[in-house]
Amino acid sequence: MKKTALLMAALLGVQSLFAQQSDKDARMQWWREARFGMFIHWGVYAVPAGTYKGFPMNRGGGEWIMNRSKIPLAEYQGYAKQFNPTQYDAEQWVKMAKDAGMKYIVITAKHHDGFALFDSKASEWDIADATPYKKDLLKPLAEACRKHGIKLGFYYSQAQDWNNPGGSAARKEMHEGWPNPDSNAVNAYSKAHNGHWDPAQETKTFQQYIDMVAVPQVRELLSNYGDVAVIWWDTPTNMTDEAAQQLDAVLKLQPNIISNDRLKRPNFQGDYKTPEQKIPNLSELDGRDWETCMTMNGTWGFKSYDHKWKSVETMVRNLIDIASKGGNYLLNVGPTAEGTFPDASIERLKGIGAWMKVNGEAIYGTKASPLPVQAWGRVTKKQHKNTTTLYLSVFQWPTNGKLEVEGLSGKVTKAGMIGANGKVTAAKNGSGTTITVPAKGTNDIASVIKVEVEGLL
């Protein structure tokens, strides 16, 4: 009887694991097919735009200016009186994301400075109470996303909060470059007070902050804006298992929601990993879902003087590289305090969209390449009943008209160009295949060859 009971318990455990995986697969399906989304970092920090007392930040994103510069709470809160984004047009934002080929948006509902872009009953440090704008910024965005078929996610800084008392603060010393006679004293105070630099930050405990601000605000976000596809936690500084469990429990309000891995490591792994500002090598991948988040220039939040913009070519090739490894690309825009996307961001979104309009088939719904990394570009795949479709995204077009595909040994039944009618043929060549292509590709960024292969690769 004892052995039978143990066997039954083991079987029930296996069934439970299968059920959990099945539930996760169902929730993750749209995300795995999307491959491309927009990150939006927006808040009061867009007002100083990276400059404090005449000195530009010499490190970090614009959204970190309060911590990096150790700005007192009362002084920083004064920026909210200048935050009046009257040019904000949520539908225009959503259209730009959609036209760029993005399938979802994740916006900073509350970043580390604690400022909420929504009308929160848990804190007056929000758009409705602290600014002349006085209107919820997330409701029109949620409505526009529903209208245009874009999934909406909320970034929420669950542990770090530099304005709501009790929130934690990363220990960053003040090294911004201006002559500040108090810098040593401020850094010493911060080191001695668990990262805080203003006594007003310490009038409540961390657990009180969790109970009175974080949990209620997450509940508001998951209750007041319709379907929420993603909750994007960030920097679990001083997070406890107890607090993480409280926040994780609120996700039950949205049964289909997915979450990332930053609530609290390692006990709360979420549904996917989040490498930042880098694309992992194949050796770094462990089979878990993952998403690279990356800036267009050097900052997340708006900095008026950051003009180190990535090219459209770089960002499209990043997207292809990420998709070829089975990941998603979350590409950031940092709007201005007036509520507009920087012109350079708009230009790049249009450029990416032009490529995606023709070649999106090679990205959406694809899986990681079954082949070795190719010197000329990257490969994605789709599987059918008894065939595999390979998308060869060619960065370096062969001058001799012969594209050597290493590791492709299966029988090619069909091959052609996406966006062109040029003749394409395939022939086996040892352990690989030679694809004969037209003299010119379709696009200088990446030309896509679609290849049908017998069997499942």
> Region 6-29: what's the mean pLDDT?
70
Predicted local confidence at residue 180, as pLDDT: 67
DSSP string, 400-417: TSEEEETT--SPEEEEEE
Tens-digit pLDDT profile for residues 53-88: 988 987 889 999 999 999 999 999 999 999 999 999
What is the rounded average pLDDT for all residues in the chain?
94
What backbone torsions phi and psi does residue 119 show, to the nearest 5 degrees? -80, 100
CA distance 430 to 407: 9
Write down the pLDDT at residue 19.
59
Which whole number is the average pLDDT over 306-333?
A: 98
Looking at per-residue confidence, does 361 or 178 come out higher?
A: 361
Q: What tokens appear for 323 in the block?
A: 């998709």
Among the residue ranges 14-28, 40-54, 357-371, 434-448, the one predicted with the least confidence is 14-28
Confidence bin at 445 (pLDDT 50/70/90): very high
- What value does the mean pLDDT take over residues 281-303? 97
Q: Each residue of 359-376: pLDDT tens digit?
A: 999 999 999 999 999 999
Q: Please tell me the predicted confidence (pLDDT) of residue 395.
A: 98
Q: What is the pLDDT of residue 172?
A: 83
Per-residue model confidence (pLDDT) at position 41? 98
What the chain holds in terms of domains, given with CATH numbers, is 27-362 (3.20.20.80), 377-454 (2.60.40)
Q: Which amino acid is at 399?
A: T
Q: Check whether 165 has a pLDDT greater than 70.
A: yes
Q: What is the residue type of 112? A: H
**Average pLDDT of the segment spanning 416-443:** 94
Q: CB neighbours (10 Å) of residue 410?
A: 19
Give residue-wise pLDDT tens across range 251-264. Answer: 999 999 999 999 99
Q: In the numeric block, which tokens belong to residue 36?
A: 């491309």
Does residue 397 register a pLDDT over 60?
Answer: yes
What is the average pLDDT across 442-449? 97
**Can you tell me the distance from the alpha carbon of 222 to that of 230, in angstroms, rounded to the nearest whole number?**
10
Check residue 323 and give its pLDDT. 98
DSSP code of residue 311: P
The predicted pLDDT at position 379 comes to 98
- pLDDT for 59: 82
**Between residues 57 and 200, which one has the greater pLDDT?**
200
> Strands 104-110, 36-40: parallel, antiparallel or unpaired by DSSP?
parallel
Percentage, residues of the chain above pLDDT 90? 89
Question: Is pLDDT of 3 > 70?
Answer: no
Residue 431 pLDDT? 86
